[in-house]
Structure 1
């Protein structure tokens, strides 16, 4: 990979992650789905989600603003990469903050770089880390979920 290609790929990946946060914060219909591959898996709140379940995940989530840094990216050849991105989520109603990071796997597709796998880790006041509290009422193990 040339230096020019590496820089171009980093810029594209940074834009991809920023676009996800912007579109989630602004609730632009399902526009935020464009940042993922069709076969993506997203682990959040102890539950593995596929693309078909993403709208339910977002519908159950509190509204607010995502603020994130640029991901730290490691390339694995010319078509795969991994990254970590810290974020702050600020709840629109309470202004409570959630701190955490994403662990991502990216793949280059004909449409450009996309997120292929994503998992969320939250930082806790006591100094620990975990996958968060489930807020999707349909998730396995959630109160009121049907099995």
Structure 2
């Protein structure tokens, strides 16, 4: 990674940390701690639905299947106090029928508490038709 300033590298590391926390807090912390990775007005898009705000995100995703998220390659495009990211993932459901793969498309913003996710769109990897 050449051409970045020390401040930009610190930003990239902070962004990677909050993206990691997105997966880890959902599985090893409390649900409320997981919600803290989002801004209060965050929008979470999944299954074609926009969930607006932490409460709406909580209401839907507290019902989601349990399992393990395995984050993959991440691209981060810095833009001052915000960044656009894309990250591949694999989800291994405790019930295998819920296992899936795909990409998280996120906007992260710098806040007084560090980097937080303001938008997250889940794009599922659909199996090829035979």
For the criterion TM > 0.5, the same-fold answer is: yes
Instruction: Name the TM-score, length of structure 1 as normaliser.
Output: 0.79
Q: Which residue number corresponds to residue 123 of structure 2?
A: 121
Alignment map for 1:84-95 (pairs within 5 Å): 84-94=86-96
Q: Contact 1:62–1:91 (CA<8 Å) still a contact in 2?
A: yes
Q: Which residue number corresponds to residue 74 of structure 1?
A: 77
1:39 paired to 2:41:
yes
1:19-43 CA-partner distances (Å, limit 9, x unpaired): 0101112352311011111111010
- Count of equivalent residues: 126
Unaligned runs of 5+ in 2: none
C-alpha displacement of 1:58: 1.8
**C-alpha spacing 1:93/1:27, structure 2 compared with 1 (3 Å):** farther
Structure with greater Cα Rg:
1
Q: Contact 2:44–2:119 (CA<8 Å) still a contact in 1?
A: yes
**TM-align CA RMSD:** 1.8
Secondary structure, in 3 states, of the residue corresponding to 2:36? helix
Runs of 4+ in 1 over 2 A off after TM superposition: 93-97
Q: Contact 1:63–1:91 (CA<8 Å) still a contact in 2?
A: yes
Q: Which residue number corresponds to residue 100 of structure 2?
A: 98
Q: Contact 2:65–2:98 (CA<8 Å) still a contact in 1?
A: no
Question: Quick one: distance in 2 between partners of 1:92 and 1:69?
Answer: 20
Q: Contact 1:100–1:122 (CA<8 Å) still a contact in 2?
A: yes
Q: Which one has the bigger strand percentage?
A: 2
Unaligned runs of 5+ in 1: 128-147
Question: Quick one: distance in 1 between partners of 2:31 and 2:70?
Answer: 19
